[in-house]
Structure 1
Amino acid sequence: MNALTRSRADSAMFIPTGKIRIPPLNEGNRPRPRLDNILSADSGPSLTLVTAPSGYGKTTAVSDWARRSLIPVGWLSLDPEDNDAVRFWNGVAASIRESTVFKDDSYILDMDASLQPLEVRIDRLTESLYRLNKNLAVVLDDYHHIGNPEIHRQLEKWLDRLPPFVRLIVLSRSNPGFQVARLRANGRLLELGVSDLRFRPEEASSYLNDGLKLGLSPDDVASFVGKTEGWITGIKLFALALDVRDDRSEFIDSVNGGRRHIKEYLAEEVFAGQSEELRHFLLRTSVLDRMSAPLCNRLTGRTDGGESLERLVKSGLFIVPLDDRGEWYRYHPLFAEFLRDKLRRLDERLDLDLTRQAALWLQETGYEREAVPYWLRAAEYVQAGSRIGELAPYLLKEGSWSLLKSWLDQLPSRMVHGSERLSIAYAWSALLSGLSVEAESGLRKSGRTLLKSASRADDSESLNDWLGEAALVRMMSAFYRRDLRSALAYAKESVVRKTAISDFIRIGIDFNTHEARLSRGLLGMNGHLRKAAAYLKQMEPDVAADPANTLATGYSYAVLGEILYEWNRLPAAEESLLKGVRIGESSRNPGLWVPAMMSLIKLKAKLGHRGQAADLLHELSRSPIPAGSSIWSRVVGAFLVERRLAEACREEAAEWLKRTAVYLSDTAQVVREYEHTVRIRSLRALGHLPMALENAERLSLSAEKEGRTLSHVEFVNLQAMIHGAEGRVERATELLSDGLRLAEREGYVHLYTDEGVPMANLLRHTLDRVVSGELRHVSARYIRMLLSAFGGATPEESGRVSNPRNAAAIPPDASEELSARQWEILDRVSTGATNQQIADDLFISVGTLKIHLNRIYKKLNVDNREQAIRWAVREKRLREPPVKGGYPKEYNP
């Protein structure tokens, strides 16, 4: 991969190694046992807050402790760019991965490069920490750079949910923007301030005499400490200035004034004391936020950048190594501020020229993202705009919406709104940052500007593409507002304009960020299937006339396929889902492809095409399309477990439960709804009914509150089946009747039939109570229709439990009770093979086979082969038997 490709695709997520490494110590640094003892307290608090102005040695003290700490320490050095929430949490996750305890990256999941809500990614990070179950400290250095209220809120929430064995240590020049009062009141906060950090006389003596070998008298040391009030940077400046003087005591006596005066005076003394060659180096490299030898050479016009950096490190001249290899450095903030002010006063044009050179070097060496702030600082807006336009899809993909928007805000407005690419990037970044009004006003302004400039035929074609992209932005905005009429209009406009799949859509935007079942979310009108079907009906002429097979068309096919499946129109559903799968695959869009594949696999299994379903399931599990997104990889993993449960294999469910949801948030999250659903099904299948019921109740309330009708009914049904399995049939039927009232309006069918025998039994009990008048406002006709959709079986054939008091004997799902071996036997029985033939094929005795058959009959609550086969056919587990007019006489063992 060349540097340019790396910079666009990979370095959009790039976290410099120096940001996540514990800073190396400079020569002369001395241990500070007093602070080490405080930081190493056995009963470490949840948060340690180290707050002091610049120059009090916060980073040095904590990094010195971290290097000797008995527990692993993750370190993140923050800068202004980390005000982007996604970049911030990417850094947190990367720093934890970098800590020595995390040799296996699987413990800490990447902060996924997709549009899934950041809150979910933070919860996944917390889950990983619970799963690790080991002591850990996480240090956030220079937190004063963070002014984003969203990050403050997220960090406050994270602190409440951190495992007790994880400590957060925050270093800042000022009080952080998040609330700490509750932590302080609960004794979970340790605070270190100026009085704790300033040098005591004995510490100053250790540093000056033992570390720097200055040989100062106790009186001189006391004078140092007194004049600086223990301010460590002041003491270091004193030491550096003394190094070039003979009149030490006189010089110490001559320095007076406040901290700022001392800083300016001593910094000038230190700077003046350097050679002309080194002063030249310091000034020309002062424009850099981070520097390496090659970059310094570019700005100084020399070839000795490496030697100069080493000389500065050895002299302790306020330079901070950013890695252990000696490649990247930065100046101490106070000294950097002094040098930059001095350069601007001397030659402002040189300051701009050096900034341009730095941007060009970063761009040429593949650090396009890092080059952007320099281009902006140098007011080179054409270069900055070009780089931003190229990086925009990748920034959108990783979720760095606010960073992208902040860059675009620094460009001239006429440049942004006069550019098709930058204006679309601006609209997406504003919309996804929650600024929908700003996104729309930007599109209007850009539309007027671009329309005026579209004079040639080529321009008109390009404008048409832009209008199609703008329609997609407006469609998403309308969906967020629940304005379905407008969403439909904009979707139709996008299809009519035959908007090609641009790299914004191909790389950066997925219209479905987390919905494993499209008909449950916005695209399916939150389960209001009749309304969604009417919406899709209006789209039909435009979809049919769309040779480009745009994403809007692909999603239309997939949603329609789910609706048709739910309505039991299986051939039409299959046709529609296949089209959605093809478009999702060709566009490599996981938000379309994964849900369409999942629905198609269920449909194939329902039709009895078990081989095709297995092949598709294998393809889904091995495809790179969902593998590029951790949220879709998780969804696929949950779906594999659900399919194995349908085949009566519970081992995978037990393992999956161990791997997931070790840490559950207090509130149900829509973005993880499908995983929660599979969790409930797994708990139910494994017999953990109280826990399964608790989860189903919680998610049912959440779905009802969100207006997600289809999901709400499913969770109600799960509650009903759990109550039925525990013998509480009256409560089960009452719950079921509540869901049936909602389900009938939308015509749900397979939401019930997919649940198998337990649901059929409960529906019959519900029907009895409806007919008897015990349950009202429920349609007996609808229940009978559902029962007929199970296969038209009579109560006797379905193994109906005649006495509701015996309902506890109903297994959670008879199909889930059969082992893989028993399914294999039942499959061979359906072919008409004799007992001896089956036994020979399976290398078992006829006696062993009869034992298996008896167990199968018991699990299915049937009496013979014929009833077992009928049950399996009716449940769409097996194809119709090939032998017409009956089976061989060797039915009964």
Structure 2
Amino acid sequence: MALAVDRAKGGVIVKSAANATSLPQGLIATKLVPAAMDRRLVSRESLFGSRTGWGGMSPVVSIVAAAGSGKSTLMAQLHHDMVEQGVSTCWLSLDADDNTPAVFAVYFLSALSSVDPNLAREDLSTLRSNPVRDFDVFFDALVARLSAIDRPTTVFIDDFQHIGHPRVLRFLNRLLAHLPPCLHLVFASRVQLPLDLARLRVAGALIEVDQDHLNFDATQAGVFLKRYHDVELAPDDLQALITTTEGWPTGIQLAALAIRRHRGSAGELIKSFSGRDKDLTRYLVETVLSSQSEIVRQFLLTTAPLRRMSPDLCRATSGHADSGEMLEHLERCNLFVIALDRNGQWYRYHHLFAEFLQNELRRTAPEAYRDVCERAADWCQDKDLTTEAIQYALDGECYEKATDLIARHSPKLAQFDGDHYTVLDWMRRLPTQFHDHRPESLLAHAWSRAFSRGTGIAMQLTEQVLEGLKAEPGTNWDLDDARRQGLRVTAHVVQAVTHAAADEMESCFARAGELRASLPPSEDFLIGTICNCLSLCHFAKGDFELSAKVAVDAYFHGQRAGAVFPTLWADFLQVMANVELGRLHTAHEVAQRAYASARSEGSRHSYGVGLSSLINAEIAIQRCNFDSAREFLGDGSIFKEVFGPAEPVLAAIRNEARAQAWNQELGAACRVLEQGQHTALGTQHPRLYAALAIEEATLQLIAGDTAGASQTASRTRLLDDSDSTRTSFSRRPLRGALQLLAARFQLAQQNPDAAARILTQLLQARGAPTQGCFFLTVTAVRAVALWNADRRNDAARELDRALRAAAPEFHVYPIASAGRALLPVLDAIAQRRTDAVSCADLDKKLLLQRSLHSILRGESSAQPAAETRPARRSDMVESMTVRETELLRLVDAGLANRQLADALLVSEATVKWHLHNIYEKMGVRSRSAAAARAREMQLF
């Protein structure tokens, strides 16, 4: 194996690959790019002997040595070898800013996305939308997902010395303890790894490379000096250099640079060296810098703060007219500059050298450092590189500029795009004394806090804005009256959003109602946001019709404002409301539109991708197409953690649990629901907690696990009237769901009459739905109760009513949720319809019946017909009921009244009554005339 000293750390220039992984906004792509190989590499094959192949190499490699010892270059060679062998690889270089669970997780997942985009996408979306979360749970789930890797993969993690956070270390230790066979890890660090490696060491599953291994001997140093610097030393001088530097590669590299510029003998220069690692590092770096010409030295200093360099950016910050040529000169001279692409457009300094230059610039000209950062911020701002502009302003402690930039850009980023992670990161780096300099920053911060489990802080920030706006003009913010009023209204809107995120629906509804009435028509974004709040309130109260209607208004105004975030929320609410109403065709169209819109926005709007995936999964679940649902649940599962309103969280957890339960994985489904309950309690979401508890007991009863359901009800105190969470049941949806659960328990305890009474009350209650999810579920469960009570004709008619209502939309799940006890009722209906089974008019209903048979027997998912919209008809046609249209189709098929009665599960007298109504509506007098008129009107 041929290896060279790490250019970044040992001074040798090695170009980096140009295909950096696409990152979320605000992250540094070059941290995921390994150094490319150099032809002049010094052989280090003896470090690994015959274990260089992936299959023969130990699962974990630890490379620990001082800065500049060639750790990264050794890793780069291993990386190159893995790629040559066809092994999947990813790379992550760490720095001090990565020592938090949130930042480490984002970079780690971004690195993994180059290996498997699907593995990292959902968690990256979660972290972008919700950087404040329980990372122990997150990392445990990530360990489980990594264990599913089934192809050879190596993860390289460089500069691990920056990591010491307990949660990050816990994650890596768990990963090491449960390392899958197809995954290898390679670490490089300046200090001993704070990881549990003893077990791996004893098992022979660890290769450890330390400082002694990496230090050059005289032969290696001689080869290196000749290949990279065309310097040949006498044997005594070479040995003196090894003795002085202890073979430290960076010391040899810097000594070579000094020797080339030294007018005296090399031996004299080498003898003047003194000290060990720290002293030697400082002396050699200072020697290198001072040996440069003034032009080069000034260029190095005035470009030191740059995270990445292009000729134009260097020209703007250093004033050097020939910055492109200077960068090429630095690369040729091995002055710690790394090319980031093959065209010489972007470079970066090795971070050790950059840190030294930055410290030197701060020491000798502190104002110059600030000026460089400010000019870099201005240049990036002109190039629309907003995130980098703000980073430079923060780096240079140009806090007034940073405050101004954040105030200008954070409202759109938070409110229009939903990029909460970036806004929260900016506010973390901006000193708190600058937070209140601009009300726009406070409101954007409040908005992102509301969607990141920080509703209390969000409300405090909005109150701070409102108090500040009360002050006399000129005493606080320099704002005219119109601007003050606009910010005041925005603050109230943010408060309404915060109430919604905290599930305080009464407060949200009151505030949102007042605002909707007062907002002028020109405020499309604010109107769209408030309409979403109102739609959410109506949804939580069970008024799905009004929820859908208001969500349409929210979509309209969000589109006019050009705002992605409120528009996708409007689509989410439209779909969820239409699903509850049983309008799956409409829901499907909106869900597809939302998914296409979110995908077109790219990874920056991953929150929207997750939201739109959720509603597509919801529709697939409602049609019992569980395979399709799983495809969408990957992106949608980011909402399993609570952030923002509860509805997406409930949909994500409930749908994952349903898909697992119907795949005979009841235990896994219950664990998902229990984890969701724990999160809901910890974040004070009692409505979410209650809904998830009901869902868990329901799935257990559907599966026949009555004992488990009873334990769930007891643990969650579902049937305890004194429990504090019972206040959530004052809202109709939860109250009805609890009564339905009580009826299911009665059925499971062989009390069908008691169950039927509860279900009848639900169907006959004031304001009870006559269509949609809840109606279909109650009707199907009631059919089971009637059958078990030996009222079989009533049971058949009840189930037929549900089938008739569900068939046009292929709405399967609510009926299937009655469980296997529904099968004999389905069989009875099928037997009575024998004579009509071949009639085209029954195609949809028969398809639904067959699908239910298949699902309840555990044979397969439902396979609905192609998604189509019913054609629009005349007023006369629309006045026809579903039952009347079905009857006309049977009449056209030639069935007699007795056959019609059997097919429709009604009496002959009822058939005659329906025919009389049809004749009246159509203005005809006979069955044949009615059938002909129906064909003319394209009823079938």
Q: TM-score, normalised by structure 1?
A: 0.70
SS of 1:137's equivalent in the other structure is: strand
Structure 1 residues 632 and 350, CA gap change in structure 2 (3 angstroms): closer
How far has the Cα of 1:240 moved from its partner?
1.3
Equivalent runs, 1:27-42 vs 2, <5 Å: 28-35=40-47, 42=55
Structure 1 residues 754 and 107, CA gap change in structure 2 (3 angstroms): farther
Structure 1 residues 684 and 502, CA gap change in structure 2 (3 angstroms): same
Equivalent runs, 1:621-700 vs 2, <5 Å: 621-623=592-594, 624-627=596-599, 628=601, 629-630=605-606, 633=609, 636-637=612-613, 639-640=615-616, 643=619, 646-647=622-623, 652-654=625-627, 656-657=629-630, 673-682=650-659, 688-689=663-664, 691-692=665-666, 694-696=668-670, 699=673
Task: Answer whether contact 2:317 2:375 (CA < 8 A) is retained.
Answer: yes
The letter of the residue matching 2:283 is Y
SS of 1:832's equivalent in the other structure is: helix
How far has the Cα of 1:583 moved from its partner?
1.3
Counterpart CA distance in 2 for 1:395 and 1:158 is: 35
Counterpart CA distance in 1 for 2:819 and 2:574 is: 41
Q: Deviations over 1:600-650 (max 9, x none)?
A: 332443xxxx6xx41441232133455455565456556545545655xx6
Counterpart CA distance in 2 for 1:78 and 1:388 is: 26
SS of 1:582's equivalent in the other structure is: helix
How far has the Cα of 1:234 moved from its partner?
0.9
User: Mean Cα displacement is larger for which, 580-589 or 343-352?
Assistant: 343-352
Match for 1:289 among 289, 307, 311?
307
Uncovered stretches (5+) of structure 1, i.e. residues with no partner: 1-9, 507-547, 566-572, 773-778, 839-845, 847-862, 872-878
Match for 2:578 among 595, 601, 607?
601
Counterpart CA distance in 1 for 2:609 and 2:503 is: 28
Paired position in structure 1 for 2:353: 335
How far has the Cα of 1:720 moved from its partner?
0.7
Structure 1 residues 746 and 868, CA gap change in structure 2 (3 angstroms): farther
Equivalent runs, 1:328-727 vs 2, <5 Å: 328-393=346-411, 396=414, 397-398=418-419, 399-409=421-431, 413=434, 416-428=435-447, 447-454=466-473, 459-471=480-492, 498=519, 549=527, 551-561=529-539, 563-564=541-542, 573-587=544-558, 588=564, 589=566, 592-605=569-582, 613-623=584-594, 624-627=596-599, 628=601, 629-630=605-606, 633=609, 636-637=612-613, 639-640=615-616, 643=619, 646-647=622-623, 652-654=625-627, 656-657=629-630, 673-682=650-659, 688-689=663-664, 691-692=665-666, 694-696=668-670, 699=673, 702-703=676-677, 706=681, 707=686, 708-723=689-704
Paired position in structure 1 for 2:813: none
Task: Answer whether contact 2:61 2:186 (CA < 8 A) is retained.
Answer: yes
SS of 2:261's equivalent in the other structure is: coil
The letter of the residue matching 1:60 is T
How far has the Cα of 1:242 moved from its partner?
1.6
Task: Answer whether contact 2:146 2:180 (CA < 8 A) is retained.
Answer: yes
Q: Deviations over 1:747-797 (max 9, x none)?
A: 558976999xxx99957735853868xxxxxx8853442476655866313
How far has the Cα of 1:712 moved from its partner?
1.6
Q: Relative contact order (alpha carbons < 8 A, sep ≥ 6): 1 or 2 greater?
A: 1
How far has the Cα of 1:52 moved from its partner?
3.5
Equivalent runs, 1:12-31 vs 2, <5 Å: 13-25=25-37, 28-31=40-43
Q: Deviations over 1:160-204 (max 9, x none)?
A: 77754233434343457x754687689676554434433344433
SS of 2:888's equivalent in the other structure is: coil
Structure 1 residues 882 and 220, CA gap change in structure 2 (3 angstroms): farther
Task: Answer whether contact 2:63 2:208 (CA < 8 A) is retained.
Answer: yes
Paired position in structure 2 for 1:61: 74
Residues 1:167 and 2:178 are matched in the alignment = no
Structure 1 residues 315 and 74, CA gap change in structure 2 (3 angstroms): same
Instruction: Say what the alpha-carbon RMSD is for the aligned residues.
Output: 5.3
Match for 1:318 among 306, 312, 336?
336
Paired position in structure 1 for 2:124: 111
Paired position in structure 1 for 2:936: none
Task: Answer whether contact 1:733 1:766 (CA < 8 A) is retained.
Answer: no
How far has the Cα of 1:494 moved from its partner?
6.0
Match for 1:197 among 214, 238, 242?
214
Equivalent runs, 1:249-288 vs 2, <5 Å: 249-288=267-306
Q: Deviations over 1:265-296 (max 9, x none)?
A: 32333334334443343333334332222222
Counterpart CA distance in 2 for 1:799 and 1:248 is: 102
User: Mean Cα displacement is larger for which, 340-349 or 806-815?
Assistant: 806-815
Task: Answer whether contact 2:496 2:511 (CA < 8 A) is retained.
Answer: yes
Structure 1 residues 298 and 444, CA gap change in structure 2 (3 angstroms): same
The letter of the residue matching 2:575 is M
How far has the Cα of 1:112 moved from its partner?
2.3
Q: Deviations over 1:198-220 (max 9, x none)?
A: 33444333323455442334443
How far has the Cα of 1:13 moved from its partner?
0.7
Task: Answer whether contact 2:59 2:184 (CA < 8 A) is retained.
Answer: yes
Task: Answer whether contact 1:127 1:661 (CA < 8 A) is retained.
Answer: no
SS of 2:232's equivalent in the other structure is: coil
Structure 1 residues 701 and 766, CA gap change in structure 2 (3 angstroms): farther
User: Mean Cα displacement is larger for which, 492-501 or 65-74?
Assistant: 492-501
Task: Answer whether contact 1:86 1:400 (CA < 8 A) is retained.
Answer: no
Report the number of matched residues: 765
SS of 1:400's equivalent in the other structure is: helix
Task: Answer whether contact 1:668 1:698 (CA < 8 A) is retained.
Answer: no
Structure 1 residues 273 and 748, CA gap change in structure 2 (3 angstroms): closer
Structure 1 residues 806 and 322, CA gap change in structure 2 (3 angstroms): closer
The letter of the residue matching 2:579 is K
Match for 2:761 among 768, 771, 785?
785
Counterpart CA distance in 1 for 2:92 and 2:323 is: 27
How far has the Cα of 1:387 moved from its partner?
1.6
The letter of the residue matching 1:304 is D
Equivalent runs, 1:120-159 vs 2, <5 Å: 133-145=150-162
How far has the Cα of 1:236 moved from its partner?
0.9
Q: Deviations over 1:214-247 (max 9, x none)?
A: 2334443332222122322111111111223451
How far has the Cα of 1:420 moved from its partner?
1.6
SS of 1:112's equivalent in the other structure is: helix
Task: Answer whether contact 2:693 2:712 (CA < 8 A) is retained.
Answer: no
User: Mean Cα displacement is larger for which, 380-389 or 233-242?
Assistant: 380-389
Match for 1:816 among 852, 857, 860?
852
Structure 1 residues 466 and 692, CA gap change in structure 2 (3 angstroms): same
Counterpart CA distance in 2 for 1:239 and 1:163 is: 44
Q: Deviations over 1:472-499 (max 9, x none)?
A: 5556666777777876776678668749
Counterpart CA distance in 1 for 2:382 and 2:214 is: 43
Task: Answer whether contact 1:84 1:403 (CA < 8 A) is retained.
Answer: no
How far has the Cα of 1:253 moved from its partner?
2.2
Task: Answer whether contact 2:618 2:651 (CA < 8 A) is retained.
Answer: no
Task: Answer whether contact 1:401 1:432 (CA < 8 A) is retained.
Answer: no
Task: Answer whether contact 2:700 2:709 (CA < 8 A) is retained.
Answer: yes
How far has the Cα of 1:869 moved from its partner?
3.8
How far has the Cα of 1:128 moved from its partner?
7.4
Equivalent runs, 1:43-62 vs 2, <5 Å: 48-62=61-75
Task: Answer whether contact 2:613 2:632 (CA < 8 A) is retained.
Answer: no
Paired position in structure 2 for 1:228: 245
